[in-house]
């Protein structure tokens, strides 16, 4: 059994090596062996940080790239049986379309792995997860002014968040993880204000 490195995060140099090897069309297990990581770690890294470039819908008969388009001919991506066509070369072996020989003729959605974007997303996630919710008292009072009247009209939090997009803009991404804590604060502010 092979002994893998126990580091939890990939370094910038390891991400550079992943991109270089993807550009050489190396498979995930080859990348994993070179970096002394598990294949699942490499697959998660590529899938999490790859960039989607949608296919050109104007050059395609199958506008949504649905697997079942030939059967129904009325395809929308809202259909119950909708399933995007997947590229076996990309999804099984490589994980990204970097330096693919069929890149110019392919009609499927393309996914690219770029080390700069991957490392930037990683750094943002790392910093954001360690800071928690960055919400000052004035923003909390502003949220309370918006949310409290809606709660008093018996609207659920789920409905409020779905119908009022600007609430999500006020709060950071970490909002969903700390929803209970924020709601307790809002309710305290709410009943003191109204």
pTM above 0.95, yes or no: no
- For 68-83, what is each residue's pLDDT tens digit? 776 776 666 567 777 7
Full 3-state SS string of 118-150: HHHHHHHHHHHHHHCCCCCHHHHHHHHHHHHHH
Distance CA 28, CA 185 (A): 46
Distance CA 12, CA 95 (A): 19
* Residue linked to tokens 């700390």: 178
- For 93-103, what is each residue's pLDDT tens digit? 788 888 888 88
- For 13-63, what is each residue's pLDDT tens digit? 999 999 999 999 998 889 999 999 998 899 999 989 988 887 666 655 555
DSSP 112: E
The full set of domain ranges for the chain reads: 12-127, 137-193
Burial of 35 (0-12, 13-18, 19+ CB in 10 A): buried
């Amino acid at each position: 059994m092979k002994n893998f490195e126990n580091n939890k995060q990939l370094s910038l140099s390891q991400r550079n090596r992943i991109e270089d090897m993807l550009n050489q069309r190396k498979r995930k297990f080859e990348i994993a062996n070179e970096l002394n990581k598990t294949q699942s770690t490499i697959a998660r890294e590529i899938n999490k940080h790859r960039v989607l470039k949608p296919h050109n819908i104007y050059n395609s008969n199958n506008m949504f790239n649905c697997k079942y388009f030939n059967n129904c001919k009325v395809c929308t991506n809202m259909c119950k049986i909708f399933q995007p066509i997947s590229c076996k070369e990309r999804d099984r072996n490589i994980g990204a379309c970097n330096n693919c020989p069929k890149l110019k003729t392919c009609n499927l959605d393309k996914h690219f792995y770029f080390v700069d974007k991957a490392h930037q997303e990683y750094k943002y996630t790392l910093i954001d997860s360690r800071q928690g919710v960055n919400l000052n008292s004035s923003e909390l009072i502003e949220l309370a002014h918006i949310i409290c009247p809606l709660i008093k009209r018996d609207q659920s939090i789920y409905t409020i968040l779905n119908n009022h997009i600007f609430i999500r803009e006020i709060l950071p991404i970490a909002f969903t993880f700390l929803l209970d804590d924020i709601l307790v604060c809002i309710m305290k502010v709410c009943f003191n204000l109204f």
